[in-house]
Amino acid sequence: MKLLVATHNPGKIREYQALLADLPLEVTWLDAEGIVFDVEETGSTFAENALLKAHAYAAATGLWTWADDSGLEIDALAGRPGVFSARYAGPNASDADRYNKVLAELAPIPRAQWTARFRCAVALVEPSGVEHVVEADFPGMMTDVPRGANGFGYDPVFYLPALGQTLAELPADVKNRVSHRALAAQKAHALLLDLLHT
């Protein structure tokens, strides 16, 4: 069986291929399937956005489709950037543009209030349109200086007090076990395992 992971992001597909390696599935992605259209993320929650993408690509391809939406919620910024995490600094902005905008907004706020979490929703949609959703979050703190060369997005400025490192400083195998995406993927993995055996 082929499972389409609804992303154009090579960093994300590498994470998912590792997370799903033990399932009896051929994991493919949008570029590999020649899919060039994007689905507008008009939902007000991560789950709504994940479902929009999963339904659209499942309908277009006839494949089981896995889509996620994830982002950073910062308490001192009333949950921003939230569902706008990837678009927070405008179109064509780099990862550094996005996290620098967040850091500029945090600058006047006391550091003790820089609590944050990454949140991830995974939607799995069958070719028939039947849908499944799981969610997970991953708490941490923002840091004012980017550190680490691993990961992508806001990883260099998301600090994990228990580990004394940012997400971007973690080795990929550790991040793939502990991140918000990993936790949501583990839940979706278990769900897929059940669905494959029913």
Which residues are known to be catalytic?
69
SS (H, E, C) the chain: CEEEECCCCHHHHHHHHHHCCCCCCEEEECHHHCCCCCCCCCCCCHHHHHHHHHHHHHHHHCCEEEEEEEEEEEHHHCCCEHHHHHHCCCCCCCHHHHHHHHHHHHCCCCHHHCEEEEEEEEEEECCCCCEEEEEEEEEEEECCCCCCCCCCCCHHHEEECCCCEEHHHCCHHHHHHHCHHHHHHHHHHHHHHHHHCC
Asked if residue 93 lies in contact with residue 164, where contact means CB atoms within 8 angstroms, the answer is no
Identify the three-state secondary structure at position 93: coil
Identify whether 10 is preceded by a cis peptide bond (ω within 30 of 0): no
